[in-house]
Amino acid sequence: MDVFAICDAGSIEKGDAKAFSLSRINEAGESRPFPIVVVRTHANDYFGYVNVCPHGGTWLNIGDGEFFSRDRAFLRCGRHGALFEIDSGLCIEGDCKEKSLEPIALAVVDGDVCVCGIALAEDEGPDPFRDLDDTMEIMIHPD
Ligand code: FES
């Protein structure tokens, strides 16, 4: 199964959410934009959804960048104000009522939030440090 670490679990505050612009590989082997939002609840659960509103297809945090309703009890689309349950993604109020955000399976592994079961494209561009080993010693030669 594909498991991709996307961020340090502690980098999202409890009760907050973070957007990620990922790329996923489609069936034709092409890389396609894959925007997601990861929510960390006060109970320390992590929920992931594709960051696309089922109503208008925009990202939820359009406008002011905010993911939550004013009381922070629901996810909220910034365009027309649809409200979604945080733990299910179900729209309970708004133009897409009864529809759901597309859930993403997440797991926290070794302190990292990981996306499971989706083939993500690796980071763009080669990593110049990929071939360096942590244990490699760097020698500084005095003149
Ligand atoms: S686009 Fe999200 S509620 Fe209309």
Closest CA to 22 of 4, 10, 1: 4
- Residue 1's pLDDT is 81
The residue length of the chain stands at: 143
- Residue 141's pLDDT is 56
Please check whether residue 86 lies inside any domain of the structure: yes
Cα–ligand 1 centroid distance for 18 (angstroms): 19
Mean model confidence pLDDT for the chain: 89
The residue ranking higher by pLDDT, 7 or 138, is 7
What pTM value is reported for the model?
Answer: 0.84
Rounded to 5 degrees, φ, ψ at 91 are: -80, 125
Closest CA to 72 of 16, 9, 12, 18: 16
Average pLDDT over residues 11-37: 95
Q: Are 75 and 8 in contact (CB under 8 A)?
A: no
- Per-residue pLDDT band at 134 (split at 50, 70, 90): very low
Please check whether residue 125 lies inside any domain of the structure: no
If you take atom 1 of ligand 1, which residue's CA is the nearest one? 56
Please check whether residue 142 lies inside any domain of the structure: no
Please check whether residue 129 lies inside any domain of the structure: no
Q: Tell me: the pLDDT tens digits for 67-107? A: 999 999 999 999 999 999 999 999 999 999 999 999 999 99
Q: What is the share, in percent, of the chain residues with pLDDT greater than 70?
A: 85
If you take atom 3 of ligand 1, which residue's CA is the nearest one? 80
Both tokens of 27, joined, read 């069936």
Cα–ligand 1 centroid distance for 94 (angstroms): 8
Q: Tell me: the pLDDT tens digits for 99-117? A: 999 999 999 999 999 999 9
In the chain, which residue ranges form alpha helices assigned H by DSSP? none
Domain hosting residue 58, numbered range: 3-116
Cα–ligand 1 centroid distance for 128 (angstroms): 41
10 lines ligand 1 (CB under 6 A): no
85 lines ligand 1 (CB under 6 A): no
* CATH number of the domain within which 22 lies: 2.102.10.10
54 lines ligand 1 (CB under 6 A): no
Please check whether residue 136 lies inside any domain of the structure: no
Q: Tell me: the pLDDT tens digits for 118-133? A: 999 876 544 444 444 4
Give the number of C-alpha atoms closer than 13 A to the C-alpha of residue 50, restricted to the C-beta side.
15
Please check whether residue 138 lies inside any domain of the structure: no
Please check whether residue 80 lies inside any domain of the structure: yes
Average pLDDT over residues 16-22: 96
Q: How many domains does the chain have?
A: 1
Please check whether residue 58 lies inside any domain of the structure: yes
